Structure formats: structure tokens, C-alpha cells
Amino acid sequence: MSSIHRLLTPLSYLRIERQDKITDELVIPGVITFLLVAVLFYFSGRIPVFSEKGVISVIVGYLQIVSGFYIASLAAVATFNKDSMDKPMPGIPVLLRSRRRKKGRSEALSRRRFLCFLFGYLSFMSLFLYFGGSALVLLAPHIKAIFTGGLFLLLKWAVVIMYIFLTSNMLITTLLGLYYMTDRIHRREATFVKPMIAPIEDDEESDEDDDKY
């Protein structure tokens, strides 16, 4: 079990609590999935899905390119030399929820750790969807021969919805990572300047000065 846990560590990104998490990871990918599936359903039979030039093959070709980018970005973030990368993220804290909520505490993440989790998750998902999509393209004709009629259509659209949703989730997460890499981590942090307080003269010294005159 410990080996499986280590292999699935990139999925720890899903345990991160942050602002707009539900919108970024569920709502927007869900809307994109609904629109794309509606188009595929409307043009059913005219737009191939599982063929060598179908929708899944196009996505697999895209994943073949970006998987290297994700891994390179992960290496860049891990070695990026900037002090603010190792400080807790300002504003609403980004927390890594403990796997055992009752026994553990949530950990406030630095920018480096958050981005490492993010690009680690993207690297994992790109490899998973790449090999999974390739397997779907290869096995689709054989699966169609086993499951015929309405059962195959039900299985087909269930797989299409899940695959497109995961791809959309990865796309939105990629845009989030690009936002941090191109803008957010390069902003200057606001610093607190301690106000200067003028020294207060001692009353006794003031009285002595008055006696001289």
C-alpha cells in the first residue's frame, strides 16, 4: 500500500483547499464538457470519436506535447531561486487538507509547494489520459463487438463524458498554473514599514532645565 501511496502522491493536489477551487475544478470543466458533448451528440455519426482521426486521438496528440511541458515546469518551480517562493501564500491561505481530517491538521502551503503539487498533478493526469486515450482508440472496435446496441452507446457516452471532463479539468488547471508562472509569483510583496516614533523627553530633565532659568 505504501508503494501505491507514493505513486499516487501527485493526486494530493485534489486535497488542497483554496479560493475558487470548486469553480475552477468542477463548474468550468463541467460547462465545457456539457458544451462539447452536446456538439458531439448533435453531430453523432459525422464527427468520429474513437477512430484514429477522432476526438480522442486529437486529445492524445495534444497530451503527447504538453506532458513534457508539465514535467519541465515542475522541475523549474522546484529549483526556482526566490525567497518568496518558500513563504506562505498571502491573502486567503492555501491549505493542504490532511488525509485523516480528525487526526491531522491542514498545512498552509508556500507558493513553491502549491505549484509543485499543481504541476505534479498535471504531469500525472497528462500521462494517465495519454495512455488511457490511446487504449480507448485501440480497444474501441473490440469493445463494440462485445457490447452491442444500446449498451455500447451507454458505455460510449459515459466514457466520452468522463474523458472530456478530465481533459477540461486539466486545461483549466493548466491556465491557473500559467497565471502563477507568468504573473503572480513575480509580483512584489507588500511590506510593513514600522512607523518612526519620536522619543519622549523625561519630565524630570525638563524641570531641571526650567530651574536653570
Question: Is residue 92 domain-resident?
Answer: yes
Residue 207 confidence (pLDDT) above 60 = no
Tell me whether residue 9 is in a domain: no
Give the rounded percent of residues in the chain with a pLDDT score beyond 90. Answer: 49
- Is the residue at 200 inside a domain? no
User: Could you count the other beta carbons within 10 Å of the beta carbon of residue 112?
Assistant: 19
* Cα 49 to Cα 56: distance, rounded to the nearest angstrom: 6
User: In terms of pTM, does the model score above 0.75?
Assistant: yes
| pLDDT (mean) for 194-208 | 56
On the 0-12 / 13-18 / 19+ scale of CB atoms within 10 A, 43 is: exposed
Q: Which range marks the domain in which residue 171 is found?
A: 23-186
Which residues, listed in sequence order, are joined to residue 17 by a DSSP beta bridge? 95
Nearest to 162 by CA among 30, 44, 28: 30
- Residue range 97-120, pLDDT digits in tens: 877 655 567 888 888 899 999 999
**Structural domain contains residue 182:** yes
Mean pLDDT of the chain: 85
Look at residue 144 in the predicted model and tell me its pLDDT: 85
pLDDT greater at residue 60 or residue 80 = 60
Is 7 among the domain residues? no
pLDDT at 40: 92
Q: Is there a domain that residue 52 lies in?
A: yes
15-19, 67-71, 143-147: which has the minimum mean pLDDT?
143-147
Average pLDDT over residues 174-189: 79
pLDDT at 199 over 70: no
Domain assignment of residue 109, yes or no: yes
pLDDT band of residue 192 (cuts 50, 70, 90) is very low
- The pLDDT of 4-19, averaged and rounded, is 90
How many structural domains comprise the chain?
A: 1
